[in-house]
Structure 1
Amino acid sequence: MLCRSADLIAEARASGSGLAAFNVITLEHVQAVADAARRTGRPAIVQISQNAVRHHGGDVMPLAAATTAAAGRADVRLALHLDHVEDVALLHRTAECGASSVMFDASRLPDDENIAATREAVRWAHGRGLFVEAELGEIGGKGSAHTPGARTDPRDAARFVAETGVDALAVAVGSSHAMVSRTAALDLALIARIRDEVPVPLVLHGSSGVPHGTLRAAVAHGMTKINIGTLLNISFTRSVRATLAESPDLVDPRRYLAPARDAMTDAVTDCLTALGPPDAR
């Protein structure tokens, strides 16, 4: 069933488990997340980024419709989320496309402008019952939540949440986007300090580069929503390359998309299992 992100996040936070949120680009991505959720019995968030929307000609509806259709199967609990939305016009399509949450990203703006823009996005979204995630910008030159080497100051985080009213906060604790090797080391003590200062759930971006054991430790120290994207793309691309190398004359895309979808399903299954409640692993 199609669920609300807020409910899945609250459930994960209360149970001490991590809630995996997977960025999707193609129909096969959506199917892989749904199949893995069904296989494991674990809920998941399907995320459509502004970049993915741009790839599809600026229209969020096709992927969103695929997600809501997949969630319509009674044995799957999925929520739809719009990720890294900078365009206010796309923000305003959140509820229309079936999403119950949005990550509004004004982190490129100076701190005061980021706070003002995020506060307005929250005001608009809360008026429509939507859950809002955001992140700090380049405060004091430290970079945003997905800049390599950046670290979030707990006091800055607490001030940002208080002044914007966001429902979840993406923080910089050692991960970064688009990592193709699982070698990121997280600052677990910093996660715990932020958790103690910030009253809303914490979000880890760039989780594809973090080993499962470290992700579990991050959840134990206070992280709730775990964003994963590149890991799916690695599985997808590796499978397509292998299939085409074995059959260089192949022209039917179904012949290489099906195993690529299966590879992503296995990757998502692995993540969902690793992030489940400790007594369920």
Structure 2
Amino acid sequence: MKNYQDAFAQALQVGRPPNVVELFPNSRALIVSGKFIDRAMLKKGKAIAMAANGRNYFVIRGALMAAQRANAAIIIEIAKSESNYCGVNFWNIARIVDNLCNEMGITVPVAVHADHYGIKGPEDVEAARTEIPSVFDAGMTSIALDASHLPDEENLLSSLQLWPYVPKWAGHETEVGEIKGKTGLSTPEEALFLIQGLNAHDVFPDWIALNNGTTHGIEAASEGIQIELTARIHDALAPYKVSGAQHGTSGNSSDRLRKIAGQTRTTKANVATALQMISWGLEVNDYGNAKLDDNGNFVKVENQGVTEDMWKEMTAYAESKGLKKGDFKKINLPFESRLLAQPRKVRLRMAERVEQFVYNMLVNVLNCKDTAPIAVEEILAAGSHDPGPKAQRLEDPENWSESRIRDRGAAIERDRGEAGNFED
């Protein structure tokens, strides 16, 4: 590759999508479509981009620092549900990312992803017609249209209804099967139904997320990612050139994640809960799970993360609200401004702790070191902010009319798994 700084400067001119250019006309942050991040991982091979859920400012700062250090392309994301309980949300995350990239001189490509844009019924579809354009107006460059809570046929039909509201240049993730652990596991039949139905209507997702055995939040079970199931589904989808998005990454060992990188077509891995806990200064294990002491309480590392006094306030707040360990995520919003008001050295150590964890994952687990130049090469090869779709239409639209979709979907044997709220 030519001198990276020269290539970076050229990529800034052609690779930033129009919404980003309009919002940040004088910026030197290379915020790009999620498509380019996927392409870079595919080109390197057996590499996965981290999608860091920026539940707080310190997670975003630390993740960007780590990506720069590893010379790795990265995704910074926030989920629809997280936007309800975090200070970071769909409408300010791109501004935070852009500001930090310029402040710290970040020169790796970054995608900003709206994760789990959940659709649970017709009322959500109607609201999305306005809301999806609004998040792209606010700087998003990628989105996950997630109607996996619905029956397979409604998942597909809702996705088709909302696709016109997503810019064609944007990264696009779809999902089959709610992420809920060992029950309700996705099947090749369900995944093919969704991807083939989208393909028939010229919708070519970059990623598909599966229920392949993980959960969101704190993973207490030992099963984790079902690697063979994931590989089997990805192989079935190979003609449609869709990559895998791995959800529920916290709670899986480094060894298991390396196998996902090496044995499946996964190019995106979401990390949320682990980064939140690390930024606060909690001790975590190799699985990214926060450790508990003999009394069942989180273990706060002295002089790491937030101050000891702040942690006492946070735990007291959680107790007053009756929050269980898996619900500590709801502390983010009420404490965001309090955390930003801590002494400078505390704020810096919070971000640096995230940086150390993310850097190790990028380099030693996800195999995405030095993918930044690859992504820049892809941008320059496209000469545009839009590399176009990976796939082409293989399915006959006549076989995928609404009535046929409903008939075919109703015939799929499905296990929806246990009931409950698994949205983030």
Q: Structure 1 stretch 76-85 or stretch 108-117: which is displaced more?
A: 108-117
Instruction: Work out the CA distance in 1 between the residues paired with 2:257 and 2:348.
Output: 29
CA contact (8 A) 1:20 1:275 kept: yes
Residue 399 of structure 2 corresponds to which residue in structure 1? none
Secondary structure (helix, strand or coil) at the match of 2:214 reads coil
1:160 aligns with 2:194: yes
Which of 135, 149, 173 aligns to 1:133? It is 173
Question: CA offsets, 1:161-194, max 9 Å, x none?
Answer: 1113333110122221112569444322212211
Q: Structure 1 stretch 257-266 or stretch 67-76: which is displaced more?
A: 67-76
CA contact (8 A) 2:65 2:106 kept: no
Residue 6 of structure 1 corresponds to which residue in structure 2? 35
Higher RCO, 1 vs 2 (CA within 8 Å, ≥6 residues apart): 2
Q: Structure 1 stretch 66-75 or stretch 195-204: which is displaced more?
A: 66-75
Q: Structure 1 stretch 242-251 or stretch 147-156: which is displaced more?
A: 242-251
Residue 46 of structure 1 corresponds to which residue in structure 2? 76
CA contact (8 A) 1:180 1:234 kept: no
Residue 258 of structure 1 corresponds to which residue in structure 2? 348
Among the aligned pairs, what percent are the same residue? 21
Which of 189, 203, 228 aligns to 2:245? It is 203
Q: Structure 1 stretch 267-276 or stretch 173-182: which is displaced more?
A: 173-182
1:238 aligns with 2:272: no
Residue 74 of structure 1, CA deviation: 4.9
Which of 350, 357, 360 aligns to 1:267? It is 357
Q: Structure 1 stretch 184-193 or stretch 32-41: which is displaced more?
A: 184-193
Which of 185, 208, 212 aligns to 2:254? It is 212
Q: Structure 1 stretch 204-213 or stretch 180-189: which is displaced more?
A: 180-189
Instruction: Work out the CA distance in 2 between the residues paired with 1:247 and 1:25.
Output: 18
CA contact (8 A) 2:279 2:354 kept: yes
- Summarize the Cα distance change of 1:148–1:234 in structure 2 as closer, same or farther, 3 Å threshold: farther
Instruction: Work out the CA distance in 2 between the residues paired with 1:246 and 1:74.
Output: 33
Secondary structure (helix, strand or coil) at the match of 1:103 reads strand
Which of 48, 52, 77 aligns to 1:22? It is 52
Instruction: Work out the CA distance in 2 between the residues paired with 1:91 and 1:74.
Output: 28
Residue 94 of structure 1, CA deviation: 3.3
Matches within 5 A, 1:84-233: 84-86=116-118, 88=128, 89-126=130-167, 128-137=168-177, 144-164=178-198, 165=203, 166-179=205-218, 183-198=222-237, 199=240, 200-222=242-264, 223-233=266-276
Residue 63 of structure 1, CA deviation: 2.2
Residue 218 of structure 1, CA deviation: 0.7
Matches within 5 A, 1:73-92: 73-86=105-118, 88=128, 89-92=130-133
Structure with greater Cα Rg: 2
Residue 258 of structure 1, CA deviation: 2.7
Residue 278 of structure 1, CA deviation: 9.1
Gaps of 5+ in 1: 138-143
Q: Structure 1 stretch 17-26 or stretch 70-79: which is displaced more?
A: 70-79
CA contact (8 A) 2:71 2:370 kept: no
Residue 108 of structure 1, CA deviation: 1.8
CA contact (8 A) 2:49 2:74 kept: yes
CA contact (8 A) 1:18 1:275 kept: yes
- Summarize the Cα distance change of 1:259–1:151 in structure 2 as closer, same or farther, 3 Å threshold: same
- Summarize the Cα distance change of 1:147–1:214 in structure 2 as closer, same or farther, 3 Å threshold: closer
- Summarize the Cα distance change of 1:180–1:114 in structure 2 as closer, same or farther, 3 Å threshold: closer
TM-score (normalizing by structure 1): 0.86
Residue 279 of structure 1, CA deviation: 10
- Summarize the Cα distance change of 1:215–1:116 in structure 2 as closer, same or farther, 3 Å threshold: same
Residue 91 of structure 1, CA deviation: 2.0
- Summarize the Cα distance change of 1:248–1:8 in structure 2 as closer, same or farther, 3 Å threshold: closer
Residue 268 of structure 1, CA deviation: 1.1
Instruction: Work out the CA distance in 1 between the residues paired with 2:134 and 2:258.
Output: 34
Instruction: Work out the CA distance in 1 between the residues paired with 2:88 and 2:268.
Output: 26
- Summarize the Cα distance change of 1:71–1:184 in structure 2 as closer, same or farther, 3 Å threshold: farther
Aligned residues between the structures? 273
CA contact (8 A) 1:50 1:82 kept: yes
Gaps of 5+ in 2: 1-29, 119-123, 283-298, 314-337, 372-424
- Summarize the Cα distance change of 1:97–1:192 in structure 2 as closer, same or farther, 3 Å threshold: same
Residue 9 of structure 1, CA deviation: 0.5
